[in-house]
Amino acid sequence: MPSELLDGLRRHDRRALARLITLAARGQNIDAIRNKLGPPSSRARVIAITGSAGVGKSTLVGKLIEQLRQHGKSVAVLACDPQSPLTGGALLGDRFRMGAASDDAGVFIRSLAAASGRQAVADHLDTVILLCEHFGFDFVFIETVGAGQGDTAFHSLADAVVLLLQPETGDDLQWEKAGVLEVADVIVIHKADLSGADKAAAQVKAALDLAGGREVPVLLASSRTGAGMKELAALLESLPTRARNGGAAAELLFLVQQELAARFRRPDIDSLAADWQAGRISTREALRQVLKD
Amino acid sequence: MSNEPIRIVLAKVGLDGHDRGIKVVARALRDAGMHVIYAGLWQTVDAVVRTVADEDADWLGVSILSGAHMTLVPQIMEQLRAAGLNDVGVLIGGIIPEADIPKLLEMGVARVFGPGTSMTAIVDFLKPGRSPAHA
């Protein structure tokens, strides 16, 4: 079945792409898919869009799609939304906000559920990205779950990380904290039609200057007025296609984390945790049991 | 049939701004462990069919309260077929006169859920094993 689908993928059959993404996202046939596909003939620009819930990630992606389509670039969007840790259910509502574009062959939007505690992106996203690259998309956007401060795993999957902030998000000490600000390659003050946008931009720039080091562009943009979209799209297009951030080691780390998380999903984890909490087994023993194959 | 979550697209088609019902259904299906792709208001038939294809959905649920179901549903079924999505189950919800229900079922709709339907009834109908696609 996967080999038929892989043939379909090479023929640019969207249904094959859609089906393969389902398999990959579920962790099925991953090795077969990866081994048979090999590296893509052309790399896509993989852009992660992150920021807290409600900052306007989906809406901004919708506006960027418009811009990039005007330049003849094809775009795949992998929109991650949270999955309930209790029921496994998920409400995937991002594509609704991306608007328009739904009858355009150059745009592919796919919603993916991200389990909690997994760094704001869906499992096996690396393979899903690979599938999109083989299909031949120029751009692949990863929209993360509304991500707070610590979720940065997508950094290793993307060529560039765009962090969205909005006016009135906190005092200037916020920006000194470690985390997502450190991995951002581009910072967008979204909803820049609201008051306080200039101040937020100034605070972020000051925080970045204080750190020294790399130059991170800070842009003002508004999906409501369209201001700044042209500039942001141009910036994303001008980014060189480089090795993924952190290179092979970071990719390996991501895979190891994924594997460890998978080992944690064992049927007896609750009783194991209870034994450990009650002191019936030592921490070392508990770790040994979780990590054993 | 695996235990993987059911993927269902929920959408409103055409000029129909009443989305309270479909949001309640979306929430209930989410809480039943399904992956609900909410496509929202004012969708065209083309856009809905594209969404079902790209999202690789098992089911499509369309809510219609505008009275246009006898126009829209045939278009949806026709375009699903044209896109090779025969294996996707279609549910219709909303205000559908009793007399039209057999006609919709005739067109290939799996089930019509009217006002007063309990959420449990919908969840039970969709339970794994009944999923039409990718069985």
Per residue in A135-192, pLDDT (tens digit) is 999 999 999 887 655 566 777 788 889 999 998 876 655 665 656 777 788 999 999 9
pLDDT exceeds 80 at position B114: yes
pLDDT exceeds 90 at position A207: no
The whole-model pTM stands at 0.83
pLDDT of A177 reads 61
The predicted model gives B73-79 an average pLDDT of 96
Cβ proximity of A58 and A102 under 8 Å: no
Selected for mutation to probe chain B from A59, A95, A97 (highest B CB count within 10 Å) is: A95
Query: For residue A117, what are the CA distances in angstroms to A32, A168, A262, B7, B133?
Result: 27, 27, 12, 22, 30
- Domains, in order of start, for chain A: 1-38 (no CATH), 41-245 (3.40.50.300), 258-291 (no CATH)
Q: Do A14 and B44 touch (CB under 8 A)?
A: no
Q: How far is A111 from chain B (nearest CA, A)?
A: 7
Q: Do B54 and A93 touch (CB under 8 A)?
A: no
Per residue in A38-48, pLDDT (tens digit) is 788 888 999 99
Angle at B128 between CA B124 and CA B130, to 5 degrees: 75
Q: Do A90 and B5 touch (CB under 8 A)?
A: yes
What the block records as the tokens of A205 is 């720039």
Q: How far apart are CA A252 and CA A274, in angstroms?
A: 31
pLDDT exceeds 50 at position A66: yes
Return the CA Rg of chain B: 13
pLDDT exceeds 50 at position B134: no
Q: Which of B118, B126, B135 is nearest to B9 (CA)?
A: B126
pLDDT of B1 reads 41
More confident residue, A69 or A264: A69
To the question of domain B7-115 being in CATH 3.40.50.280, the answer is yes
pLDDT exceeds 70 at position B121: yes
**ipTM computed for the complex:** 0.88
pLDDT of A242 reads 54
Query: For residue A125, what are the CA distances in angstroms to A57, A66, A129, A279, B128?
Result: 18, 24, 6, 38, 25
Per residue in A225-261, pLDDT (tens digit) is 999 999 999 999 987 665 554 556 666 776 777 777 7
Q: How far apart are CA A204 and CA A181, in angstroms?
A: 9
pLDDT of A203 reads 87
Q: Give yes or no for B119 touching A (CB within 8 A).
A: no
Among chain B residues, CA nearest to A25? B4
Q: Give yes or no for B108 touching A (CB within 8 A).
A: no
Q: Do B26 and A91 touch (CB under 8 A)?
A: yes
Count of residues in chain A: 293
Q: Which of B108, B111, B81 is nearest to B96 (CA)?
A: B111
pLDDT of A172 reads 59
Secondary structure class of A50 (helix, strand, coil): strand
Q: How far apart are CA A137 and CA A44, in angstroms?
A: 6
Residue indicated by tokens 């290179």 = A247
Q: Give yes or no for B29 touching A (CB within 8 A).
A: yes
Q: What is the mean pLDDT of chain A?
A: 84
DSSP A83: B
Count of residues in chain B: 135
Model confidence at A54, pLDDT cuts 50, 70, 90, reads confident
Q: How far apart are CA A243 and CA A6, in angstroms?
A: 25
Q: How far apart are CA A17 and CA B4, in angstroms?
A: 19
Q: How far is B30 from chain A (nearest CA, A)?
A: 5
The predicted model gives A128-140 an average pLDDT of 94
Q: How far apart are CA A246 and CA A160, in angstroms?
A: 11
Q: Do B33 and A88 touch (CB under 8 A)?
A: yes
Q: Which of B23, B30, B5 is nearest to B134 (CA)?
A: B5
Q: How many CB pairs under 8 A join A and B?
A: 79
Q: How far apart are CA B4 and CA B33, in angstroms?
A: 10
Q: How far apart are CA B28 and CA B36, in angstroms?
A: 10
Residue indicated by tokens 């590296």 = A39
Amino acid identity for residue B110 in this structure: A
Give the list of residues 6+ apart from residue B81 with CB closer than 8 angstroms, or none: none
Beta strands in B44-135 (DSSP E): 59-64, 89-94, 111-113
Residue indicated by tokens 């369309």 = B62
Hey, where are the domains in chain B? Answer: 7-115
pLDDT exceeds 90 at position A129: yes
pLDDT of A136 reads 93
> Chain A residues contacting B, CB < 8 Å?
14-15, 18-19, 21-22, 26, 83-84, 87-93, 95-96, 102-103, 108-111, 113
pLDDT of A101 reads 56
Q: Give yes or no for B37 touching A (CB within 8 A).
A: yes
Q: Which of B59, B5, B40 is nearest to A22 (CA)?
A: B5
Angle at A113 between CA A218 and CA B121, to 5 degrees: 140
DSSP element (H, E) containing B101: helix B101-106
Model confidence at A209, pLDDT cuts 50, 70, 90, reads confident
Among chain A residues, CA nearest to B33? A89
More confident residue, A105 or A73: A73
